[in-house]
Amino acid sequence: MTAPSARAPRTPWIAPGWWFVAPALTLIVVFFVGPVLAAIVLSFTDFDLYALADPRAAHWVGLRNYSRVLQEPLFWQALRNTLYFALVGGPLTVAASLGAALLVNARALRWKGTARAIFFAPFVTTLVAVAIVWRYLYHPRYGLLNWMLGHVGVQPIDWLGDPRWAMPAIILMATWKNFGYNMLIFIAGLQNIPRELHEAAALDGATPFQRFRHVTIPMLAPTMFFVVIVTMIGYLQLFTEPYVMTQGGPLRATTSLVLYMYEEGFRWWRLGVAAAIAFLLFLVIVLFTLLQRRISPRGAA
Amino acid sequence: MTRARAREFRTGTVALYAALVVFGALSLLPLLWMLSASFMAQGEATTFPPALLPRNPTLVHYRDLFGRLALGRYAMNSALVATVTTIGALAINASAGYAFAKLRFRGRDATFRAMAAGLAIPVQVAMLPLFLLIKSLGLVNNYGGVIIPGLSSIFGIFLVRQYALAIPDDLLDAARIDGASEFRVFRSIVLPTIQPVLATLALWTFLATWNDFMWPLIVLSDDAKYTLPVALAGLVGEHAQDVELMMAGAVITVLPVLILFLMLQRYYVEGVTEGSVK
């Protein structure tokens, strides 16, 4: 370090701030921004296994990858599956989060910390490991779930083997795994509701349910919309659950866009096609993000 | 309190605890069953009605996994990758987060806004060219290829910046007037002050890296280099019928992160609430 002059602020050639952010920015530019831009180029080429050995084998093909993908029935099925997962799974997860948050936040409840830790535990677990656990819970003959449902008279369901049930099964598992995260956000939100509001409503003779309906829900609504959209955006990137639990089946009923992209890119090494799929996914995510910007209140986001 | 009110209160409390028990049981059941089945004899978990507890608890599957199937090696790989990523991410994101909060330099706010916009781009978009980049650097099937792209995280920088905004400028200026260099100010004043958020960042990075699946799956091709989740996903392909063995494998993968979370819960929770408020 150079000798500092005590009073006057030094005016070095490069502001010290840049030195502090340089490592992070360099990494972000090289390993994220650069690749994103390169992905645009990649999606306009026929980059494949041969190009992997020698990049000169790749040619510019314009929009061919996009038009080919858009004519592929599997793409549309993957898009439908992904939207199914996000549009059903997102709100379901958030509803479970809200329920858990209300429970943990209830004034009469003791052991709040323990309850919160229990609800949050599934979120920190390793997705691959618990997806395998759920594979066995869903076993049509020996699985715990069908056995429990059998007690209330439900006939055994072939959860992961029936194309109609496979996606609901993955949604259920994802809800279990993820609700704890938003629960924490809701607990913080609930604690921000001024107690006087509840007390005033109680004085006016409101029942607990009415207070929930007319005080809690309106106060929490901004957070709720925000959380639903953020959860759905995360869910649009579905990959590990179908990879481990169903390999995208049965009959492609659980093939998500990212799984489709993975197969095209890293199994068949059609990187150009895969990049086009990645951008189409990005487009969907952008639509959801715009929606979020639209409805999110001033404070959030 | 009138008697009617008291009764309403009591039934309310009962309902509350009933809901809590149901919700709690649903959360824990899959994990408890995983643990229980891992101690069952082979074939015991595939009976009807399902066995809930092992008749004669056995450690044979754990012995199998660590012996014959060398799961210990994958655990070491995972620990190595997660530890190195965490240490690197701490240094890189802490300094950047602090600078974005407290140091003035031209282009700071524009850069920060651009980064925030980058958060909206899904990582999968970058993955294909990133793989080609990693390949051209000779880092395919190398831990470097798994670690380096995870070192700098926009989320991590946000987290630290948010916390560092609260450091009083006077504190920093006092040290500068005493002749401390910017690096010295960072090391001896900023770092001690932001310690709690560093713990949060470390925990998040470690758990996220330990749990990560897709990127290590793409980068690591040699069996011996797999991380635990990748190895486990491969194992279930060959041993799908060995439920008890697979459950033991799941326990080995999940247990370290669960213990870490239970010990350092407070820091984890702060990460969620800080991150969501931004």
CA distance B100 to chain A (A): 8
Same-domain check for residues B100 and B130: yes
Decide if A144 touches B, using CB distance below 8 A. yes
Tokens of B271: 């990460």
Provide φ and ψ at A6, rounded to 5°: -60, -50
Chain A contact probe: residue of B276, B277, B278 with most A CBs at under 10 A: B276
Say which of B45, B96, B149 has its CB closest to residue A20.
Answer: B96
pLDDT confidence of residue A260: 97
Considering only alpha carbons, which residue of chain B is nearest residue A107? B13
- Identify which has the larger pLDDT, A3 or A283: A283
Cα separation, B135 vs B145, whole angstroms: 8
Same-domain check for residues B173 and B268: yes
- Identify which has the larger pLDDT, B276 or A184: A184
Task: Find where tokens 């063995």 sit.
Answer: B245
Contact check, Cβ <8 Å, B126/A36: yes
The 3-class SS string of chain B reads CCHHHHHHHHHHHHHHHHHHHHHHHHHHHHHHHHHHHHCCCCCCCCCCCCCCCCCCCCCHHHHHHHCCCCHHHHHHHHHHHHHHHHHHHHHHHHHHHHHHHHCCCCCHHHHHHHHHHHCCCCHHHHHHHHHHHHHHCCCCCCHHHHHHHHCCCHHHHHHHHHHHCCCCHHHHHHHHHCCCCHHHHHHHHHHHHCHHHHHHHHHHHHHHHHHCCHHHHHHCCCHHHCCHHHHHHHHHHHCCCCHHHHHHHHHHHHHHHHHHHHHHHHHHHHHHHHHHHC
Contact check, Cβ <8 Å, B213/A133: no
Low-confidence winner among A240-244, A292-296, B28-32, B186-190 (lowest mean pLDDT) = A292-296
% pLDDT > 90, chain A: 63
Residue B278 has pLDDT above 70, yes or no: no
CA distance B195 to chain A (A): 18
Same-domain check for residues B90 and B173: yes
Residue A4 has pLDDT above 60, yes or no: no
Cβ B277 vs Cβ B253: under 8 Å: no
Say which of B104, B133, B258 has its CB closest to residue A124.
Answer: B258
Most confident of A211-215, B16-20, B129-133, B173-177: B129-133
Chain A contact probe: residue of B1, B115, B125 with most A CBs at under 10 A: B125
Band (A10; pLDDT cuts 50, 70, 90): low
Band (A300; pLDDT cuts 50, 70, 90): very low
How many structural domains comprise chain B?
2
pLDDT confidence of residue B8: 61
pLDDT tens by residue, A16-49: 889 999 999 999 999 999 999 999 999 999 989 8
Same-domain check for residues B176 and B213: yes
Same-domain check for residues B40 and B77: no
Same-domain check for residues B159 and B239: yes
Band (B76; pLDDT cuts 50, 70, 90): very high
Across the range B237-258, mean pLDDT stands at 92
CA geometry: angle B95, B98, B102, nearest 5 deg: 140
Residue B255 sits in a domain of what CATH number? 1.10.3720.10
pLDDT tens by residue, A189-219: 888 888 888 888 888 888 878 888 888 888 8
Q: What value does the CA radius of gyration of chain B take, rounded to a whole number of Å?
A: 24
Same-domain check for residues B145 and B214: yes
Final residue of a structural domain among B23, B42, B60 = B60
Residue A2 has pLDDT above 50, yes or no: no
Residue A64 has pLDDT above 50, yes or no: yes
Domain that holds residue B151: 69-277
Mean pLDDT across chain A: 89
Most confident of A81-85, A117-121, B102-106, B155-159: A81-85
pLDDT confidence of residue A106: 82
Band (B50; pLDDT cuts 50, 70, 90): confident
Say which of B92, B131, B177 has its CB closest to residue A24.
Answer: B92
> Can you give the residue ranges of every domain in chain A?
72-295
pLDDT tens by residue, A252-263: 999 999 999 999
Final residue of a structural domain among B60, B88, B107 = B60
Across the range B42-53, mean pLDDT stands at 86
pLDDT confidence of residue B249: 94
Decide if A203 touches B, using CB distance below 8 A. no
Contact check, Cβ <8 Å, B45/A136: yes
Q: Is residue A6 classed exposed, middle or buried when 0-12, 13-18 and 19+ CB atoms within 10 A define those classes?
A: exposed
Same-domain check for residues B188 and B233: yes
Across the range B29-39, mean pLDDT stands at 94
Residues of B in contact with A281 (CB under 8 A): 122, 124-125
Same-domain check for residues B182 and B221: yes
Residues of A in contact with B28 (CB under 8 A): 118, 121
pLDDT confidence of residue B274: 66
Across the range A167-176, mean pLDDT stands at 97
CA geometry: angle A132, A135, A138, nearest 5 deg: 155
Q: For domain A72-295, give the fold.
A: MetI-like fold (1.10.3720)
- Identify which has the larger pLDDT, B146 or A13: B146
Say which of B30, B135, B186 has its CB closest to residue A137.
Answer: B30
ipTM of the complex: 0.90
pLDDT confidence of residue A11: 55
Helix (H, G, I), strand (E, B) or coil at A49: helix
Band (A1; pLDDT cuts 50, 70, 90): very low
Same-domain check for residues B75 and B51: no
Same-domain check for residues B37 and B172: no
pLDDT tens by residue, B112-126: 999 988 888 889 999
Same-domain check for residues B127 and B80: yes
pLDDT confidence of residue A79: 97
pLDDT confidence of residue B74: 95
Contact check, Cβ <8 Å, A35/B127: yes
pLDDT confidence of residue A261: 97
Contact check, Cβ <8 Å, B111/A147: no
Considering only alpha carbons, which residue of chain A is nearest residue B274? A185
pLDDT confidence of residue A5: 45
Across the range B71-84, mean pLDDT stands at 95
